[in-house]
Structure 1
Amino acid sequence: MQTAHHSALEAKHAGLDQKIAAEAQRPLPDTALLAALKKQKLKLKEEMTAQ
């Protein structure tokens, strides 16, 4: 059973996925921003699997 918290985490995870994809498509992607976004995404993934 999914809780509202888990659904919110999934939504944030998907949003980060979109931001990462958009940044990666830029001609000169900001590598520091990409690293930060990926780190946030990993933390969300870990939180989702911990539940």
Structure 2
Amino acid sequence: MAAAERIESLRVKHGSLENAIDRENHRPLPDESLLMSLKKEKLRVKDELQHLSTAQ
């Protein structure tokens, strides 16, 4: 059950990161370094989600 909880937690985090990226992109002067950091974290979360999903 812990894996399912971790997967759900990662899905929530992935969605939160997507929202943060969208908000930053729509600002008048987006912070490119922040965007890069958010996108890297989102990709890391996505990779972990895929790894956990295939391991089940």
Q: Calculate the TM-score normalised by the size of structure 1.
A: 0.95
Q: Give distance in 2, aligned partners of 1:25 and 1:46.
A: 26
Structure 1 segments (4+ residues) deviating >6 Å: none
Show the counterpart of 2:41.
40
Report the alpha carbon displacement of residue 37 of structure 1 after superposing the two structures with TM: 0.1
Show the counterpart of 1:4.
5
Gaps of 5+ in 2: none
Q: Give distance in 2, aligned partners of 1:5 and 1:45.
A: 12
- Structure whose CA Rg is larger: 2
Taking only aligned residues, the RMSD between alpha carbons, in angstroms, comes to: 1.0
Summarize deviations over 1:13-45 as a string: whole Å, max 9, x none.
000000000000000000000000000000000
Report SS of the residue matched to 1:47. helix
Provide the aligned length of Structure 1 versus Structure 2.
Answer: 50
